Amino acid sequence: MTYQKLKSNFLFAFYFVVLIFAFCFLNFKVSAQELSLGISPPLLEIVIKPNKSIMVAYKIDNYADPVIARAKILPFEPLGNQGNIKIAKDFSGPVRFSLDNSDLDLEKPFFMKTRESKQLLLRMRLPEGTPDGDYYYTLLIETEPPPTVDGSTGGRAKGTIGANILITVTGSGMTEISGKIVLFDVISKFKPFGWKIFDSNAKIPVVLNVQNNGKNMIKAEGEIVLNGNFGEKATYQIPAQNILAQSQRLVFATPSAEINQPTSLVLSGFFLGKYKLAASLNIGESLTPLTASTSFVALPFRWIIGLIFALIISLILIKRLSRNEDEDEA
């Protein structure tokens, strides 16, 4: 065999192996997901004067099949007290939104390939004379549903992903901040004479509701401090959470846990005696913190029942063993 033939055979074998290798190992993971979108940043907070304009860049990622999407802006209002929102059907409000992208516009469809990222340059303009106050919007990236399958019955799901925009308009630079703790308590099912009593091992749910009475949103952060009779003390941080104007919110402390009902904090461990809980929330740098306190009593009911049970069993055992001994002696 000549050198040339050897070389060509070797190259053929080499390419063949490379092909098999690529086929076996480089088959990029194909996801079964048909729709998967990401958005960043998910939250935008703006304090702005009227007659000003700003531009913010959003990154939209398509992780799944190609989609036709469109961007739109709708106002929202808070729903309930747990941070949920209700998006309005139609646009309203004084803020003027547009896209600075040359090839994209709001409400106009655009195409996104698999694994494609797009940058949306969102411009917000506050016309002169915009009244002071808060305006809340959601930037929505809405996809087109898949085409209809002829002859069959079914639904077509379309996915929309959103990012919230909180705009505070102030001509003077001053905002109206007015907050109040409307509820700070432990949720107890056993409350004789107003005492909130728990078993020593029970999980103790704590709720902290804050009302914003002002025209502008407030950012509440602080702590809940637990003090026991024997000098024990624990501090639970409340990370910054927005409370929108004229709304109420259940603020979460950390660490938290999930139980059957919405709570700010769940205390767990072994408690004995009377405990005091104090909440302190800062809602503005120069404002007096909001404070509230409550208390509860923890008693080892399970241990007491267990001890009574153990005593009864021990008495029965002693009596039975003593009787057996007496019978043996007799």
Partner 1 sequence: MTYQKLKSNFLFAFYFVVLIFAFCFLNSVEAINMESSRYRIQFGNIGIGGDNLTSDDIRLTTSLGQLAANRFDSDGYVVKAGFQYIHSIIPFRFSISKTNIDFGSLIPNTPSEVASILSVSFGGAGQYQVTAVEEGPLQTMSGTFIPDTLCNGGKNTCDEVTPKLWDSNRAYGFGYTMDVGGKDIPESFISCYKTSGNKSCYRPFPDRLQPTPETPAIVMSSPNVGRNKQATIKFKVNIGPAQTTGSYQTIINFVATPTY
Chain positions 103 to 142 lying near partner 1, rule: CB under 8 A, are 136, 138, 140, 142
Six token digits for residue 137: 């919007």
Under the binding rule (CB under 8 A), the answer on residue 63 touching partner 1 is yes
Specify the 3-state DSSP secondary structure of 84. strand
Question: What gap in Å lies between CA 174 and CA 181, rounded to an integer?
Answer: 23
- 246 CB contacts (<8 Å, ≥6 apart)? 212, 213, 214, 215
Question: Least distance from C-beta 100 to partner 1, angstroms?
Answer: 15
Among 6, 9, 12, 59, binds partner 1 (CB under 8 A): 59
Q: Could you tell me which stretch among 95-103, 160-168, 202-210, 291-299 binds partner 1 (CB under 8 A)?
A: 160-168
Cβ(136)–Cβ(164) under 8 Å?
Answer: yes
310 touches partner 1 by CB under 8 A = yes
**Closest CB to partner 1 among 26 and 149?**
149
Q: Footprint of partner 1 on residues 3-32 (CB under 8 A)?
A: 32
Question: Among 124, 215, 211, which residue's Cα sits nearest to residue 172?
Answer: 215
Nearer to partner 1, 196 or 211 (CB): 211
- Give the residue, chosen from 158, 180, 191, 276, that forms a contact with partner 1 under the rule CB under 8 A: 158
Site string for partner 1, 251-280 (x = CB under 8 A): -x-xxxxx-x--------------------
Pair of tokens at residue 111: 């195409």
- Residue in 8, 9, 40, 117 binding partner 1, rule: CB under 8 A: 40
Q: Which of 7, 20, 66, 86 binds partner 1 (CB under 8 A)?
A: 86
The DSSP letter of residue 202 is S
> How many of the other CB atoms lie within 10 Å of CB of 177?
19
Q: How far is residue 297's CA from residue 196's CA, in Å, rounded to a whole number?
A: 6
Please pick, from the candidates 16, 45, 68, 127, the single residue that binds partner 1 as defined by CB under 8 A: 45
* Cβ-contact 244, 213 below 8 angstroms: no
* CA 270 remoteness from chain centre: 29
List the x/- string, 186-225, binding to partner 1 by CB under 8 A.
-------------------------------x-x------
* Among 70, 72, 87, 272, contact with partner 1 (rule: CB under 8 A): 87
Q: Which is nearer to partner 1, 61 or 293 (CB)?
A: 61
**How far apart, in Å, are the Cα atoms of 8 and each of 2, 18, 19?**
10, 15, 16
Three-state DSSP class for residue 311: helix
